[in-house]
Amino acid sequence: MLGIRRLNFVDAQCGGTRSVCVMKTATFRIVPLPTKVAEEARRAAESGAADHAVIKVDSATGFPCRHCLRWAQPGERVILFPYASIPPGHPYSETGPIFVHVEKCERYNVTGEYPADFRNGRAFRTYDANYNMIDAEVVNENDPEAMIEKLFQNPKTEFVDARSVTHGCFTFRILRA
């Protein structure tokens, strides 16, 4: 269930019966890995960069692509490379391993909807405008949309990073809509 940011009322007349529909507007947007970063990773892997390993996927839920936000499937190839979601020079800056498909994939671009493949096993880390972590929650078989809404109730929240609960790796960023 998406949080309510503002209500949009749609009135309809149907055979003399009046009905009112309330449509909810998403309070957040999902921001996957930028295409530029995915393309740079592909070029680095192709040139043989030691920190950009090409891996053949052997399980259906072990290799999440941070660009298209879907699990790579067995037989597909992904690039494992280091990525820092928080820029250097901040206390919470860290570099960790992430995956992107070797083959070009379409960047996730669904508006106001949480990615279906990542509804479980995510930790949400909330940051302020200075990249300081101000909250964190685990979303595992819970309602991620409700948790996002709760985290954005704090006026200091600038963004939320979704990360793997088990490995801690960056998955995607969440911004206010």
pLDDT in tens, 114-169: 999 999 899 999 999 999 999 999 998 778 999 999 999 999 999 999 999 999 99
**What does the pLDDT read at residue 102?**
98
In order of 38, 62, 95, 162, the CA distances from 81 in angstroms are: 10, 15, 10, 18
CATH 3.30.300 fits 34-109, yes or no: no
Q: Encode pLDDT of 13-55 as tens digits.
A: 334 444 333 445 678 999 999 999 999 999 999 999 999 999 9
**What does the pLDDT read at residue 79?**
98
Tell me which residue of 107, 145, 110 sits closest to 124, measured CA to CA.
Answer: 145
All structural domains of the chain with their residue ranges: 34-109, 110-177
**What does the pLDDT read at residue 24?**
53
pTM: 0.84
**What does the pLDDT read at residue 124?**
97
